[in-house]
Each structure stands twice: as C-alpha cells, then as structure tokens.
Amino acid sequence: MDFVHRHERRLKQHVARGTAKGIPNFFHILLTIGNLLLSQIERIVVAFESESRVQMDTDRWHRIREKLDAYYHTLGDLLDMTTMDYLDAMFATKRAANDAHALFAENLADLIKLYYQATDCRDKLDVLQQSRLIIVASGRDIERVLDN
C-alpha cells in the first residue's frame, strides 16, 4: 500500500495541473496501481479456490478483510478521482477538453476492464466466503466473550 499511496500522490499532481498532455502518464500510473491492487485481490481469490474448505482463526480473517477493504476503497477512490476530479480538470477549457477526449478514449477500455475484473473478484469472494470459509474461534476469543 505504500507504493500505491506514493503513486496516488502523483495522480493528484496530474489532477492539480489539469493538462491534457499528462493523460498518458496519468493512465499509466492509474492502471499500474489498479492492476497491483487487483493482483492482491486475485491472490486471495486463488487461495480460496485452491481448497474445498478454508479454515482460519478470527484474527487472520479480520486482517484479510481489512486488506480487502483497503484495496477496494483505494480502487474506488482512484476511479472517483479519474472520473470526477481529473475529467473536471480536463474539461475546464475547450482546448484541453478536445485533447482529453481522444486521450481518454485510448485508455477507457483498460479502465473498464479493470473495474469489471475487480467487481468479478468481489462477487467470487462473496460466494467463496459463504461456501468454503470456516472461522475457528480460539480459546482466548471464547474466554473474552464469556468474560464480557
């Protein structure tokens, strides 16, 4: 996530500049970050798919859920930044808008593909969680519940 956040700052710089000539670089960074996040999500999907039953303790499942949440929130924030903030900056002037339209069109298919892959993984994770995941509470967790 450190890599993602460092490069997210670069994307914000592109948004602040709002020039059409930076669009190819913006999309290169965006798709690199997005595909990195997607690969992390896919690793979890593959781990679930590799076993008929996946057993883990509550703490481990909590950490995995936190990471998935961070990946998906970051991906959503990046898409929002692109479709709202960056487009607004591009369409602020007529000249930039004309240049931006063509440059965005070149990268739109890759961005849409990334979005659908991420949502597909989310749907797979929901099914796999319900069908294969077994959460095992440790004795310590049970005692904590009984004490409260």
Which residue segment(s) compose the domain that 31 sits in? Answer: 2-147
Residues 51-63: pLDDT tens digits? Answer: 899 888 989 999 9
Instruction: Say what the pTM is.
Output: 0.83
Asked if the model's pLDDT at residue 143 lies above 50, the reply is no
146 pLDDT above the threshold of 60 = no
Mean pLDDT of 66-94: 89
3-state secondary structure of 112: helix
Confidence check: pLDDT of 89 > 50: yes
108: DSSP letter:
H
Paired residues of 54 in beta bridges: 133
> Mean of the per-residue pLDDT values for the chain?
87
Residues 2 and 27 sit within 8 Å (Cβ to Cβ):
no
Number of domains in the chain: 1
The more confident residue out of 99 and 117 is: 117
Q: Scanning the structure block, which residue is given the tokens 């997005």?
A: 34
